[in-house]
Structures are given as structure tokens and as C-alpha cells.
A and B are shown apart, each in its own frame.
Chain A
Amino acid sequence: MANPLRREVRQLYKNLLHLGREYPQGADYFRKRLNSAFMKNKDVTDPKEIRKLVDCGEAVIKELGTLYYLREYSAMKKRFYEEELSAMLNMGRPTD
């Protein structure tokens, strides 16, 4: 593996591991899946291939960020905007 890529791959792993701590199904579950995903590709040597895999990993980071945001947003929405939701559901019905 080319040296600069080695650093990138290692950093990617650390970043994903850090993000995985909040994973809904548990940090352990995430770590196992992360490790097996990286292990699966351990023999890849073509720099172009490695770059593609790293980009894939970066995309996963973005997805996780979005997942966490949506979870929090929808929890807040349910807790603080219930009247809004029921108002929306009652739209069109005659009021007393």
C-alpha cells in the first residue's frame, strides 16, 4: 500500500470508529461490522481501488451523520411539536 494512502485508510478507520460509538444497535455491533469491512479489503493494492474504497468510507461517515441528525430531529419534533402534528392530522375536520 502506498504510504500516503496508508495514513488515509488509518484515519478513515479511526473516524468511523469514533462515529460508531453512537450507533443505534450499539458500538460493539458497529465495531465488528467495521472491522470485517476493512479486513475484507486488506489485500487490495491498486491505489485507484483503495481511493474508491476510501471515498466509500467517507460516504458512510456522511450517512451516519445524517442518521444521527434525523434521529435527534424526529425525537425533538415528537416531543416539542406534538400540537403541530395533531393540528396537521386534524386539518380539514370541522372544529367545535
Chain B
Amino acid sequence: MPAVSKGDGMRGLAVFISDIRNCKSKEAEIKRINKELANIRSKFKGDKALDGYSKKKYVCKLLFIFLLGHDIDFGHMEAVNLLSSNKYTEKQIGYLFISVLVNSNSDLIRLINNAIKNDLNSRNPTFMNLALHCIANVGSREMAEAFASEIPRILVAGDTMDSVKQSAALCLLRLNRTSPDLVPMGEWTARVVHLLNDQHLGVVTAATSLITTLAQKSPDDFKTSISLAVARLSRIVTSACIDLQDYTYYFVAAPWLSVKLLRLLQCYPPPEDAALRSRLTECLETILNKAQEPPKSKKVQHSNAKNAVLFEAISLIIHHDSEPTLLVRACNQLGQFLQHRETNLRYLALESMCTLASSEFSHEAVKTHIETVINALKTERDVSVRQRAVDLLYAMCDRSNAKQIVAEMLSYLETADYSIREEIVLKVAILAEKYAVDYTWYVDTILNLIRIAGDYVSEEVWYRVIQIVINRDDVQGYAAKTVFEALHAPACHENLVKVGGYILGEFGNLIAGDSRSSPLVQFNLLHSKFHLCSVPTRALLLSAYIKFINLFPEVKATIQDVLRSDSQLRNADVELQQRAVEYLRLSCIASTDILATVLEEMPPFPERESSILAKLKKKKGPGNLPDIDDSRRNVNGNTEHHEPTETTNKSPPSLMADLLPTNRPRPASSSPIMLSAGTMGSSHPFTDLLNLNSPPAAAPSLLVDVFSDLSAPASVEVSEDNFSRFVCKNNGVLYENQLLQIGLKSEYRQNLGRMYVFYGNKTSTQFLSFSSSVTNGDALKGQLIVHAKSVDPVIDGGAQVQQILNMECVSDFTDAPVLNIQFRYGGALQNIAVKLPVMLNKFFQPTEMTSQDFFQRWKQLGAPQQEVQKIFKSQHPMDTDVTKAKILGFGVALLDGVDPNPANFVGAGVIHTKDTQVGCLLRLEPNTQAEMYRLTLRTSRDSVSQRLCDLLSEQF
């Protein structure tokens, strides 16, 4: 038993807690708890009415049990009863229970809200505070609905006690965070701002937090707070430390308030008013000066509080990014901290400097600390500090120091913690690419990466090096030579085999002149790795072999023997078997010319955003990634590399303009290997390389995972790959990635439609929290109504669930709704968005008519805006039957014998919307010689004609 038992001792509770502590095992504890739960339950259910004290005691015991980590499913009602007790401690325990064990039971919420309302109206400040604390702790939407308009009134009322004002301010802050839409702005906002002038520093502190949150939401409404905040800050920083009495903390004047004021000012740009601006600058200078003064106390609390204010001031200076002297002073101050004996300060200095590095004014000043930072990387004992050092090196990197920084990062990588290796790999890969002048250096760096940390080299990284080598012919020979040498290492990483296989397959001929790397030597080297590799790598190697057959006819027989062996031709893996069979066949029947065409060198990749960068961003969250955008630093004059990279040949300017994918199709010139790749599964590495549109969604950042309720869902790219395939058909596979397949069946009648969406789990693991909803863009709202039935939240491995969507077309529309899917797979939240193929033509009813009728209507629809015509090149072979099927699939009736030219197609139909019906006539004129079509649409509505023409013209 503790020596102190302040307040009202609840003996029964203390005994119970002692019992639990004395339990020797988990089982004994559970037994004791179950006994107690049974006891409490019987007391609560008993006929005898419990007095307030007992009720309080039992509720408190339940609370204790809950806090031990056990589930509590009763007692809520008793706790709610305590709320209306007139004994303070009973009420207090009731509120505590409610705050900790919120229950969304609607009846209870009503009762709780009633009790809160009574206490808020009680005029008893202690009761009011309890009620406000409860609202702030629970912060639920129901409470926001009930009290969000009431609390501002309490906050600004003249007769409200200070302590109640403080609670009310923070209560409102919490509600504004959870339900910002429910907190009404109004005339009270002006009065809240004036709380910054309040006599009571506690009120000012609470109010500053509230104003900061509100100002983030609507900065304009709180602009007046700038001058008040500056004035207040100025008074604090110039005050003698005893002036503020109890608000002085270890000789630092009001550190919390100072930090909050500085934070509030970060919601705004530098003040426009010159006097105000100079006053603020003075404040910031004073804070920087104080950092140089000898400490007033040896206590760590003193230096922490002082430096907390200093760091916040530096954040504001960086945020304003407008006063070069302040920025450089901040940088020098942080430079001192880099060598401070306090680990915490070194950590924070590294962190802060990262943001300074991205300012044009201080980038150079940050760079002067490079040696210290490199030293930190080598000597810091705490991995989280080393991590900061890596971040800072990344942020301060530019062309002048890239080689040094990359070299240091690489050598650190050898001993780095496993937890941060992948990130360092990404960073090295990005820097090496971004600042490469000499691409041999780039190739060496990436191969080193694979050698040192092959397991952490993600696909994006090795895809990237291949893209760069393919796009730059000045480096191809070097790359071939280097990978050839690297492959000689006794144990080389599989990623190296992939890169090696790909590069030798493309450019092995460039080093084949040397007898030490003759074709056969190259082949034997690659093939010596074959059996140790995983299936995808083996598949890639098989593709390299067929490329060898084309490059080096002299090894054809050797390779054919390999392909012909049972271990290939009868491989249990379908992909490998198919490749072996197809490649062998190809090498046997195709002439040299055909082989040369099919297996021609890969065409250059189009410029795309680097997926490495995208991956790093995803890993770090956008806000956390230091800005290493060059354009900004160029303002500073020196370094950078916007001068055209003279060595570039095939690809436009510098490569770092970022090639990689995410959703781009392959290069326009149809790539030779596609011929065979097209017949294969999507796991074909060559195709994957080109068409990286469906990597397994990498686990999104953990914050999204855990706090998915808070953070806006990471914006997901809407997939529309298969959209146009559904213009002329209603069923099929809409979307597929490694986890999920989405299939559709749909039927339409007049202006109504029904779609069956099938979600197939391709994995063997359950999908949890599965949900899917349909969103209509703004334009689409009111034009198309989609009602989605709910779908089972769990999809077992290998199982399929179905969702029904009911649709109603209200008026003609152009956009398409988006199907948003969310689920957890193996702990990671997956977000998928797919454009739903609901198009205007789905609401067609075909109309048969005679030639005479047709031409009569055709003439009636003769106004220029009613006709839309498009002439376009044929994308597919011009087959009459296929074309007919497509027009029928489009939804119109195909009218025979109407057009005098039998080669032309003519169709008619009516689009049904709720508002109106739109008659449509169409005519498609193929020109087989030119491989062109002319499509003409006439409807009574220009928007309909346009949309239908756009949809249909994509189909031929």
C-alpha cells in the first residue's frame, strides 16, 4: 500500500489493486479479475439500490480492469448515473470512465450529453470544467454536434472564470480537429483573438493553441492575431525572467507560450507592416542572442526550455525564408549544436539543418558543415541520430559535393542498421542519378549498391539503371564490361544477375571482341548463376539467352541445347516452360532477319518521373523529404546543372529529369520483344520493365496504416487502363494487380443500369476491412446517380465477393464515376481507384428505321452544332464483322441497306436519360486503302454528339 492516499480513499479498490499485484501469474490475475467482474455484475444487477459511493467504487474498479488491458462490456449505465451525482468525486469518476471508455451506444450518448449540458449550465466552474474536459477527451462527432456552438459562447462570455476559459478554448480546439465542419465561425472569432491580450498567461496559452488551429483552417479570419502575437512575444522575450512569476520555467520566461506564439506566426507569411516586421525580427534576434549567453542554470530543463524556443524561432525563420542574415545566424547556431555534448541537441540540429539546406540563402552555409555531418554518420552511437545525418547529407547534396556524399553514404551502408538500409539505398540511387556528370560513375555506384546491400535494392532501383543504360549509348559498353566483371564475384546478388542478364542481353556484343569476354564466356558466366536464381530472374535470363542467339549466332547451338533440356522445356513453372518452348521455336524457325527484328535492341524509354523518388517520398511521407529541387538553389548562383548535358544523345536533357513509370505504356515504337512477350504472363520481366503499371502496391506509410482515420487517404491514381475496352461490351475484367482482380457484369435498360462487381482475392491471405465506394466528380453529380450496395468487409484468400451497383442516368454526361477500394492486406492498407466504365452509350436503345426515315431525320438534325465528325486512323485491322459487332455493342441498331455505299455502316438509337430522350444517328465510313475511318454523329444535343463520337472513335 502506498504511503499517500490523498483524496478519498476507496479501500475496496486499494485492496483489489493489491490483490492483482500479488497475483503470481497471468492466469491468477485473470481469475481474480473474473471473480471481481462477477461480483460487480451481481451488485449492479442486484435488487438493492447501490449508494453513490459503492457505485463509484465499482465503476473505478471496472476502469482499473479496463486499463489493465481487459475488455469491459458493462457498467456504462452506472457510470452515466454517476455523472448526475451531486457529489463531486462521484461525478469525477463517472466522467473519467466515460472519457476512457467511450461507447458509441446512441442512448448513452444522449444521456451523457444531457449530463454534460446540465453541468455546463451549472455555473459551477469546477463542474463546468469537468464537463469541458470530458468533451475534449471524447471529442466525438455527437458531442461536437451538441456543443460546438455552445462552447464559443462560454469562451468569450465576460463573466467566465479564467480556468473555464482555458478548458473551453482547448475543448473547442479538440472539436475543431475532429469535426471542423461543426465548429461555426462567427463574431466570437474576433473576441477569441483578443484573448491573446489577456492578463492571465494560462488563458493566453490555451487561446494561442486554439487560434493556431483555427488559423490553419481559415487564415484570413485570424490575420489580426499576427500583431497581437508579435506584441506578446516581444513582451515575453524582453521580460526579466522573474516578471512572469510561476510562468517562468527554470529561468526561461513562459517557454510554452513562446513556442506556441512562434508556431502561430508560422501560419502566416512575414508581416507586411514594416514596423511589425522589424519588431518580430528584433524578437528573433533576441532569442538568437540569448542562445549565446551563459546558462542561468546547469539544469537540463533550463537549456531544454531555452532551446525549445530557439528551435521554434529557427523554424519561423526558415518558414519566412526571407531574411538572409537570420537564416545564416540560425545555421551557425545549429552548427554549434552539431558538436554539442547533448545527444538531443545534435539530433535536433541535424533535423533543423535539413530544412535550412533547402533555402537558397542558407544552402551554402549548411554545406560548410559537411565534415561534421559525415563525422556524425561515422561516430554517433544512436541510430536515430545517424539517420538524421543521412537525411542532412541528402539534403545538402549538390553537384559540388555529390561524389563525396555518395561515397560516404555507400561506406556507411556497409555497417548501417538494417532498418534504414533501404532508405539509404534509395537516397544513394537518387543522388547518383541526379548529380551524375559521368555516367560510368553512376553505373559503378549502383553496382556497388547492389554489391553492398543487394537485399535492400528494390526493383525500382535496378529498373532505373537499365533504363539509363538503354537511353545513353555512351555508357553501354562500360556498363556491359562492368557487369561482366561484377558477375565474376563468387557470390553475387540476384539483383546483379538481373542487371547483368539484361545488360549483356542487350549490349554483350560491345565487349564480345575481347576473347576474355567472348560470347560463350558471357553465356557460361550467366548460365552459371541460372540455377541459383528465383523464377523471375530465370525468366529474365531466358530472354537474355534468346537475345544472345540473335547477337551471337556462334552460340546458338549451345543455347538451343540449354533451352531444349528437360529442366527448361518441362519446367514445372509455366512461365519458364513457355519461354523455353517459345524461344526455342523462335530460334529454330525464324530467319536471321526476322530474328534480328524481333530481338532488336530495346528502344529508349520515354522520360518519366523516377519511381525511385516516388518510392522515397512514399517511404518518408511528402513532408519529410527535404526539398532537393535544383531550380531553387540555382538562384544562389553556383553549382547546378541546368546547362544542357552535352553528352546526352537519345534522351532529352539530363537523365535525372526522371524516367521511370508509374503508369505509362511502353515506348511508342513497338518494341520487338513484345511479340513474344505479349503471349506471356504479366510477370515477364521484360514487359514488366517497360510497363510497370502494376507493382504490388508497396506498403503505404505506417501513419496511413494506423491512423487511417486521421490522415486523408493517400491520393491514389485512378486506373483507367481498361476503361475504353468496355465501351462496346458490358462484361470483363476491369482491373487486376497482384492482389486483386475486379470483374464486371452489367446490364442496362432505358435510363437504368445495374452492375455486378466481382472482387477476387488472388492471394491466399484474407483481405480485411474491405470497402468499396463509388464517387462521382463534381461535374457528374446530378447527371448520374450510382447507388452502391455494401460489400462484405472480409474477403478470404482465393475467394470472390460481389457488389451490386444500381445506376440511374439523369441527364447526358461525359465523366465517369470512380470506384474506390480500400482494404488491408498483411497489415498494409491498400488503396485502389478505378474508373468505372459507365458511359453515355450504355443508355442506348437501338432503333430500327427505313432508309427514307433515316435520311429524313438525318436532314432534320442538320444544324452545325448537332453534327460531330471525326476522321481517324485505324488502330486495328479493318474487319467488317468486327466493326459490325462493335457498333452493335455500342448500343445502336445497325441499319442495312440504308447507305448507298455498302461498305459504310449506319446506325440509329435513342439515349434514355431521366430528363429526356436523345435520338442519335451515326455513320461510319471506312477507307481501307488509307486505313482511315470517318465517323459522323448527329443528335439533337451537341454534348451528346461530341461524347458519343469521342467514345466510339477510340474503338476502331
Are A and B associated in one complex? Answer: no
Please list the residues of chain B having a beta carbon within 8 angstroms of any beta carbon in chain A: none
Please list the residues of chain A having a beta carbon within 8 angstroms of any beta carbon in chain B: none
